Amino acid sequence: MGVPPDAAARAASLREQLERASREYYVLDRPSLSDRDYDLLFRELQSLEQAHPALRTPDSPTQRVGAEPSSALAKHTHLVPMLSLGNAFNEAELAAWEERATRLVGAELQHDGYVTELKIDGAAVSLTYEDGVLSIGTTRGNGTIGEAVTTNLRTIKDIPLRLAGHAPPVIEIRGEVYMSFSGFERMNEARVKAGEPVFANPRNAAAGALRQLDPAITAARPLRFYGYSVALPGNANPPFATQWALLEQLAAWGIPVAPNRARAASLEEVHAWARDIEHRVRAELDFAIDGAVVKVNSLRLQRELGVVGRDPRWAIARKFAPDIAETRLLAIEVNVGRTGSVNPYAMLEPVEIGGAMVKLATLHNFELIADKDLRVGDWVQVKRAGEVIPQVIGPIPERRDAVNPPLPYVPPDRCPSCDTPLQSGEDRGMLYCPNFECPSRQLEGLVHFASRGAMDIRGLSYSRIQQLIEAGLVTDAASLYDLKAKQLVELDRFADKSAEGLVQAIEDSKQQPLSRLLFGLGIEYVGEIAAKVLARHFGTMQALAEASEEDILAVRGVGETIGRSVAAWFRDAAARRLIRKLEHRGLTLAEPMSAQGSALKGKTVVITGTLPTLSREQAQELVESHGGRVTSGVSKKTDFVVVGEEAGSKLEKAKQLGVETIDEAELLRRVQVARVQVAG
């Protein structure tokens, strides 16, 4: 019997939703789904695949862990794959898990009992120790290959650089990097005062800090670490017999282990422990948990139970319900971003939710505030669920004063930073400050200008830029290039060497090509790819500045939104003044023409999977430098797809459409053949 069309369509939709949510969670650190919503969609897909095995594709989210590692960091293969966990949302599902395990290994399971641990809501990492010394630290990545972030992990004081006592010659210690509620709240309060957007939650802030290319940023964030498992080369057996002994040994080596762990002789003891954690202990913790982990205590039985798909049979997550609290909405404040977007957020009467003291919540946009009829002074419901930022669900009308109700909220009509009249944007419910020289926009814009993907000015951090602005040394991007070392040494935290280093880094950035400068200018909707497309098409800043909106829209790969935004930006007198100043200071206002060749001229290429030697970024540069264009999706217009390991739905789509697929070696051969032909 074939698969019903509605089941196939639903499975495809679920795979797409879960893949997108997984990338947002693990790679972008900007989750759009709550943990519970993700789990429910995941479970629905599992059920469909169990009912119709033909729906279980190799790229299904049920068949892997996490998301592809970012190409910006070096990759590292784990000794043993880092697994995920199945979920039990209630005691009945936990009992069903025990029953399944008992059928496989018998009553010995209950005899050896269980170990219960807190499920920390952080970022999973792996620490490799060689002869007791920390040699490499990585993120989870896709479960098999992670991102090497050793230097950043060394900044976390909880992580010992050398294990105490005797340890195996090579061992990976797995655990969770997290951020305490108190540290997270202090950091967010400081960001609000500085006009920076608040972090979504402690998990995102921790994960984002781990993947910073500047270890000083990681060190400045209040990161902590708890360990919970180990792995040995060749999947060898560890020198202990139980999960409890494993945790005790971690502690003896100097690895922090989460509190409130317990041994349970029966499932009833597990239930009692979990109820106490969820309803009493969680409120007392200074870090986020979204449940508990129940593990079979015997490591021998763990090995016998093994793994099914992405989940170990010997462990399961006992998930807790999200928390909701009631408090007063004290104020609705706004901050201004680099593109002029005015972003509202809620100031709340401090309320404890799931152990966190919540004072701030984002409100997304002004139309949402109106839709929910949120009024300053209202009692409101606030939700803080797992990885989602605290959000105001809505007001509690029955608690609103019937005699003297709060007045409806009126959005600002002038910029709080520069007093310029605000304008409505294309995005729903958004307001914008149009003043290119608004102080808040300038601060955020300079941070973006100096970032790695733009001008890549090392050492020019957010706090440094703020310091330079407050000292009156910097007003816009052009003024950065007027800085002198003798001016910097007069400021706090600057010595001769650091001042000279920063001035040199700024000077070096003048050599960045037009595409990097365009991206750094922070033109709304112009990301790295759009900046490259525009720079390569027009060649010079002058040609782009003089282009009409129609000229820009005629560029392949530039849509209407980008075209309008770019044309409007260059019409702004302040923007034109900035370009002239940058030109006078010697920045590169042209895109170097590729001297490598045109082997792929006019070709539309998609890259999927992990390539043997090239990172995704390197492969894209190779294609573009030979005249090709890299897109994210496979269509009938795609000329060929470069396929690496663990290629997913894009490979299947290419096969369905009859699009040619090649490997990295063939891509290099095509480019090399063209080079030889040109040389000959």
Rounded distance, CA 423 to CA 551, Å?
26
Q: Catalytic annotation on 119?
A: yes
- Classified as helix, coil or strand, 125 is strand
Count CA within 13 A, CB hemisphere, residue 522. 22
Candidates 119, 295, 359, 650; catalytic one: 119
State the Cα–Cα distance between residues 438 and 350, nearest whole angstrom. Answer: 32
Residue 237: which residues within 8 A CB-CB, separation 6 or more?
Answer: 299, 303
Q: Which residues neighbour 666 within 8 Å (Cβ) at sequence distance 6 or greater?
A: none
Q: Strand, helix or coil at 2?
A: coil
Q: Residue 329: CA atoms inside 13 Å, Cβ hemisphere, count?
A: 34
Which pairing describes strands 133-139 and 145-147: parallel, antiparallel, or unpaired?
unpaired
Residues 139 and 149 sit within 8 Å (Cβ to Cβ): yes
How many angstroms separate the CA atoms of 110 and 113, rounded? 5
C-alpha Rg value of the chain to the nearest Å: 27
Query: Taken in order 600, 606, 608, 610, is the CA torsion positive or negative?
Result: positive
**Structural contact between residues 652 and 608, judged by C-beta atoms closer than 8 angstroms:** no
- How many whole angstroms separate alpha carbon 75 and alpha carbon 91? 39
3-state secondary structure of 152: helix
Q: 24 phi and psi, to 5 degrees?
A: -60, -40
- For 327, phi then psi, to 5°, come to -155, 180
**Please, which residues have CB within 8 angstroms of residue 548's CB and are 6 or more apart in sequence?**
567
Q: Pseudo-torsion of CA 232, 233, 234, 238, nearest 10°? A: -20
For 381, the enclosing helix (H) or strand (E) is strand 379-384
Nearest Cα residue to 215 out of 148, 135, 152: 152
Strand ordering across the sheet containing 223-231: 133-139, 123-130, 170-179, 223-231
CA-wise closest residue to 345 among 459, 457, 193: 193
Q: What is the dihedral of CA 118, 120, 125, 130, to 10 degrees?
A: -40
Catalytic residues: 119
